[in-house]
Structure 1
Amino acid sequence: MAIEQLGRFGVWRDYTGFAPEQARELEELGYGTLWLGASPPAELSEVETLLDATESITVATSIVNIWSAPAKQVAESFHRIEARFPGRFLLGLGAGHPEQAGNYSKPYDALVDYLDELDEAGVPKQQRALAALGPRVLKLAADRTAGALPYLVTLAHTASARQVLGADALLATEHKVVLDTDPVRARATARPRVEFYLDLQNYVANLRRLGFGDEDLAKPGSDRLYDALVAHGAADSIADQLGAHLRAGADHVVVQVLDADSQQTLRALAPELAALS
């Protein structure tokens, strides 16, 4: 899949969170990709529903969990979707979190084995991408897939990930958003959706690599942490914060809105983001 097919900005929601009419509106607003989060099952029926409801937007998973979705079934779903909607689906996959997986032994080896199975089943390298935070999995993403899908990261991570990935691999960076010019209120809005990750060791370890300490990572998290992970302010300010990831080396920014009415926020952001595309 060509990086250009994703567009510069996409939208992340739980895989059950996109109604077909919302998907159509997001396509009309200029967003390039719908990202289906929270471990969609191997059948990937939601992907097909959204592709059927739209005309050209890409649909991607962020992510299919390798522990819960068998590679053989995922490959069958991929080929079914590709036959109906050629070139419009990107298979994002990853190892998830040890706290939520019954068997989390040797996740790197499990990723390699899963990619081997996808190879055998004919799922093309350029139509799959890998959730990646640390250097080892970023390198695997560059070697074995189209590229990397970092989640809950800062601008500094984007710059360092680009160095690891090299110039040609996809870097699609997720970033959270609250449309509110009051920083205290914006952080309060974000808190229930962010502090959950402070109990997950993969994310905490990565945030420590990025320079956050105990005072930042103790729940509910410091103001410094929220300001690095959540873009907030007026629409033009948020757009500039998201655009900073592009300037740091990302090809695509995955926008996750934490406001109660995410569709309205995305409407407000659309013209500002279009000016950056």
Structure 2
Amino acid sequence: MDRWGITIPFFDETLNESRSLIAELPELGYTDAWSAEVNGADGFVPLALAAEWAPALRLGSAIVPVSTRGPGLLAMSAATIADLAPGRFVLGIGASSPAIVERWNAGVFAKPYARTRDTLRFLRAALAGEKVSERYETFEVKGFRLERAPAVPPKIVLAALRPGMLRLAAREADGAITNWVSPQDVRKVRAELGERTELIARLFVMVSEDAARVREVARRMLAGYLTVPVYAAFHEWLGRGEVLRPMHEAWAAGDRQAAVKAIPDEVVDDLIVHGDAATCRARIREYVANGLDTPVLAPLSGGDVPLDQAVRELAPTLE
């Protein structure tokens, strides 16, 4: 069966409010539930609850940053979820961004590729129950061993937006997670990753036939993301450098409203799945046809139907 994931907790809902719908996900045909970690819920607690509420789901973090926790604490958190959901947990880690690491968490965002690589290597050893005493390029660990290593170590996947991290994921991890891509972009990402490595992507979806309303909401989201340096570089690599130049220039000049308005309709339509539910499901299938293994839907509020109805109407059982 194809994988068909969804983001938890749902937009504009608390974890408690999401409980009944999370429990319903397997009946609807969803196979995966993936958390996120930005400035809302953390990346692990929703998965711990979902392990109890929907024990048939594969659970994943997409992603937890490697620089906001110490390596040992990250291993402990991952081991806890792996113990709650043996064989069903996928640990997604990534470099994150300077805003999240430095401005919000008082950390240091340095050598993001090396820090992610080193954390991956540490976690492989630690989650296998090994005692780790190692000087890595970006940190040193002395004598760490998990008190209770998971019986089934989780798979580890990397947030990857460009060739270097995609190739690292192919060489040393169990998969790669990407974000803000079109179906055509998936082909370029897949070419760097290779055919054998799982590719996961979060897809923002609004069930609405009012394209103007979708674009108004989506432009604000896109401006906030695509001006972040890592995403700007990603979309430059994907070939959107020129079309997004007016947005970047307005943002750099401090004119946020002009930056939002400068995002062309075709960019919104490339990166946001929208239309009625059947149209959205067909669009998601385009991603899969182009090489995406695991679409992780992130239904947006403000569409034609309430969010819980959107989750049900986007279910693969309706295919």
Q: Scaled by the length of structure 1, what TM-score is found?
A: 0.88
For 1:167-213, what per-residue CA distance to the aligned partner results, in whole angstroms no more than 9, with x for missing partners? Answer: 21100122111111121122123233322113211111111222213
Deviates more, 1:202-211 or 1:121-130: 121-130
SS in 2 for 1:105: coil
- Is 2:156–2:173's contact at 8 Å kept on the other side of the alignment? yes
Q: Structure 1, unaligned stretches of length 5 or more?
A: none
Deviates more, 1:218-227 or 1:193-202: 193-202
C-alpha distance in 2, partners of 1:190/1:227?
9
For 1:136-163, what per-residue CA distance to the aligned partner results, in whole angstroms no more than 9, with x for missing partners? Answer: 1001111121110001112222111212
For 1:44-102, what per-residue CA distance to the aligned partner results, in whole angstroms no more than 9, with x for missing partners? Answer: 23321111111201111111111112221121222222223211111111010123322
Do residues 269 (structure 1) and 264 (structure 2) align? no
- Is 1:125–1:146's contact at 8 Å kept on the other side of the alignment? no
**Residue matched to 2:271:** 229
The Cα shift of 1:251 comes to 0.8
Deviates more, 1:100-109 or 1:76-85: 76-85
SS in 1 for 2:96: coil
The Cα shift of 1:258 comes to 1.5
C-alpha distance in 2, partners of 1:214/1:199?
14
Deviates more, 1:117-126 or 1:178-187: 117-126
**Residue matched to 1:241:** 283
Against the structure 1 CA distance between its residues 13 and 86, is the aligned structure 2 distance closer, same or farther, given a 3 Å change threshold? Answer: closer
**Residue matched to 2:100:** 100
C-alpha distance in 1, partners of 2:71/2:307?
32
Against the structure 1 CA distance between its residues 192 and 147, is the aligned structure 2 distance closer, same or farther, given a 3 Å change threshold? Answer: same
Do residues 31 (structure 1) and 30 (structure 2) align? yes
**Residue matched to 2:136:** none
Deviates more, 1:186-195 or 1:54-63: 186-195
Structure 1 vs Structure 2: percent identity of aligned residues? Answer: 27
C-alpha distance in 1, partners of 2:165/2:272?
24
Amino acid at match of 1:120: A
For 1:10-42, what per-residue CA distance to the aligned partner results, in whole angstroms no more than 9, with x for missing partners? Answer: 112459854222211222211111110124658
The Cα shift of 1:134 comes to 0.2
SS in 2 for 1:240: helix
Deviates more, 1:175-184 or 1:118-127: 118-127
**Residue matched to 2:122:** 117
**Aligned residue runs from structure 1 range 178-217, under 5 A:** 178-216=206-244
Amino acid at match of 2:276: A
Count of residues in Structure 1 that have an aligned counterpart in Structure 2:
268
**CA RMSD after TM alignment:** 2.2
SS in 1 for 2:244: helix
- Is 1:175–1:256's contact at 8 Å kept on the other side of the alignment? yes
- Is 2:206–2:301's contact at 8 Å kept on the other side of the alignment? yes
- Is 2:51–2:84's contact at 8 Å kept on the other side of the alignment? no
Match of 1:150 among 178, 184, 188: 178
The Cα shift of 1:104 comes to 1.5
Amino acid at match of 2:83: A
Amino acid at match of 1:226: V
- Is 2:87–2:153's contact at 8 Å kept on the other side of the alignment? no
Amino acid at match of 1:106: K
Against the structure 1 CA distance between its residues 148 and 213, is the aligned structure 2 distance closer, same or farther, given a 3 Å change threshold? Answer: same
Match of 1:10 among 5, 24, 29: 5
C-alpha distance in 2, partners of 1:41/1:69?
12
- Is 1:126–1:145's contact at 8 Å kept on the other side of the alignment? no
The Cα shift of 1:125 comes to 7.9
Q: Scaled by the length of structure 2, what TM-score is found?
A: 0.77
Amino acid at match of 2:118: D
Amino acid at match of 1:12: T
For 1:210-261, what per-residue CA distance to the aligned partner results, in whole angstroms no more than 9, with x for missing partners? Answer: 2213443512121111000001111111111111111001111111111244
**Residue matched to 1:252:** 294
Amino acid at match of 1:9: W
C-alpha distance in 1, partners of 2:37/2:92?
11
